[in-house]
Amino acid sequence: MGVWERVGRRSVTLTVTLALALLAPGALLAQVGHPPGKSPYRDIRKGHTFTPFAAFFAGDGGRFGVAPHDGWVYGFRYDIRTGSTVQMGLLLGYGQLERLILDSLVAEGQVTGTADQSTTFVEADLQLNLTGGKTWNRLAPFIGAGIGLAWAEDTPADRGVFELGTRFYFAPHAGLRLFLTDRFHLRGDARVMFWKLNYPNSSEWDTSGWYQAGLGFGFSL
């Protein structure tokens, strides 16, 4: 098993473990009662949320290492609270990701260097708030999944061996919001991105980790 494959599997394991751990507060909500003045539960403001974020993209480059590797992605997300549990959101991000340059995609191909791969991400996702419409001690864990589109600018050093082009991807995730005030919260999530890489004579499904943090602001229109 290659080192990058182990990284991909660790990313999947991390996300699943985090999702299971975050289920506990949701169970407490249904089982424990508290006097209103001393309850650890507080209502989450309904409406809209705008969240600038920074994310670390942990790619493995695929079988040949020519797809995007590690790099930072910056952007924002916009969410609408549609109910006590369900939330829908849109994400827009842009990053400079590093990738390898090979002279050919065959066993004897040689690495000729590295290059920045400018990549844009657009995603729509569905989020389930595990504590419903409330926070627990200011915490609100969630799980979700997104479907998105990633497209990359041309890399002149590529020589036509590989082009990322435009890729659809699927990204399950789990995370946590910490409410600082009624309107402001910190948001972090770990996600695994699945996308299909196409080579001149073959293709493969690849996984990449994505670790994101941002500051959200809630408002009403």
Domain boundaries, the chain: 3-30+43-219
CA distance 149 to 91: 10
Check residue 159 and give its pLDDT.
63
What is the distance of C-alpha 203 from the center of its chain? 23
What does the H/E/C string look like for 6-64? HHHHHHHHHHHHHHHHCHHHHHHHHHCCCCHHHCCEEECCCCEEEEEEEEEEECCCCCC
CB of 81 within 8 A of CB of 46? yes
> Which token pair is 215?
């500051």
Provide the pLDDT for residue 4.
44
Give the pLDDT of residue 27: 45
What is the reported pLDDT for 158? Answer: 65
Choosing among 3.40.50.150, 3.40.630.10, 3.30.70.270, 2.40.160.20, the CATH entry for 3-30+43-219 is 2.40.160.20
Q: In which band, very low, low, confident or very high, does the pLDDT at 150 lie, cut at 50, 70 and 90?
A: very high
Is the CB of residue 191 less than 8 Å from the CB of residue 171? yes
Give the tokens for residue 154: 């041309």
For position 111, what pLDDT does the model report? 75
DSSP state of 82: -
State the pLDDT confidence band at 60, using cuts at 50, 70 and 90.
confident
pLDDT above 50: residue 170: yes
